[in-house]
């Protein structure tokens, strides 16, 4: 039970924060729970896809291997399935009626995925993994969701550059997620030094995007 609490506590805290930021026209809880649940279910196809892609690339370069595993195996696969879930559930939903909604729903999809992933990590690696991921991986997934939702909303409600914003809703999170994983996978000292500043950049990016769509 303690493992479940450790795994889910950071997810629930961030979800609550994002939910209360939508002050004026909050989204229906039933749809939010459904979005969270579908995000969690996305782990299933992601596991199979990552397993397949992880075996299909063989190189003698550890940097190329880290780039492939970070940007393609992990980031592209995970963000693609989150994006598909978000699009199917929300794009034509009548409750998606203002820009900030895009961020709310995208974060719920992303943290549904992160919740299931976090449970696996905590049960496999213990309390220390749960505490470290509470400060790193879980907030990172939330920021990837914020960025996805930011461009997703702009694609929906801004006629100019709609197609470009739609593409950015997928590929900007893929890039940020890929860079996050690449830094960790290389285990290069100089890149690891840059990891904390990169995390701070991610958090600042998330808050800035949220403020912009609430303006």
DSSP string, 142-184: HHHHHHHHHHHHHHHH-STTHHHHHHHHHHHHHHHHHHHHHHH
Cα 101 to chain centroid, rounded: 16
Q: How many domains does the chain have?
A: 1
Q: Tokens representing 16? A: 């609550």
Distance CA 19, CA 26 (A): 7
Least confident of 1-5, 105-109, 115-119, 142-146: 1-5
* pLDDT tens digits, one per residue of 51-100: 888 776 666 677 888 889 999 999 999 999 999 999 999 999 999 999 99
* pLDDT tens digits, one per residue of 152-210: 999 999 988 999 999 999 999 999 999 999 999 887 777 778 888 999 999 999 999 99
Q: Which domain holds residue 26?
A: 2-214
Residue 57 has a pLDDT of: 66
């Amino acid at each position: 039970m303690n493992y479940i609490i450790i795994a889910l506590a950071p997810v629930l805290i961030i979800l609550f924060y994002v939910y209360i930021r939508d002050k004026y026209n909050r989204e229906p809880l039933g749809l939010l729970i459904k979005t969270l649940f579908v995000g969690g279910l996305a782990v299933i196809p992601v596991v199979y896809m990552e397993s397949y892609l992880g075996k299909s690339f063989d190189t003698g370069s550890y940097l190329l291997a880290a780039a492939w595993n970070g940007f393609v195996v992990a980031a592209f696969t995970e963000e693609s399935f989150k994006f598909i879930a978000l699009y199917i559930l929300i794009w034509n939903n009548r409750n998606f009626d203002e820009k900030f909604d895009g961020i709310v729903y995208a974060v719920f999809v992303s943290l549904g995925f992160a919740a299931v992933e976090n449970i696996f990590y905590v049960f496999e690696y213990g309390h220390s993994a749960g505490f470290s991921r509470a400060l790193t991986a879980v907030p990172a997934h939330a920021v990837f969701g914020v960025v996805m939702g930011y461009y997703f909303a702009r694609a929906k409600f801004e006629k100019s550059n709609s197609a470009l914003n739609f593409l950015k809703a997928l590929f900007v999170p893929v890039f940020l997620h890929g860079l996050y994983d690449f830094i960790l996978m290389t285990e290069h000292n100089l890149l690891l030094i840059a990891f904390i500043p990169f995390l701070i950049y991610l958090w600042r990016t998330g808050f800035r995007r949220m403020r912009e769509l609430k303006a």
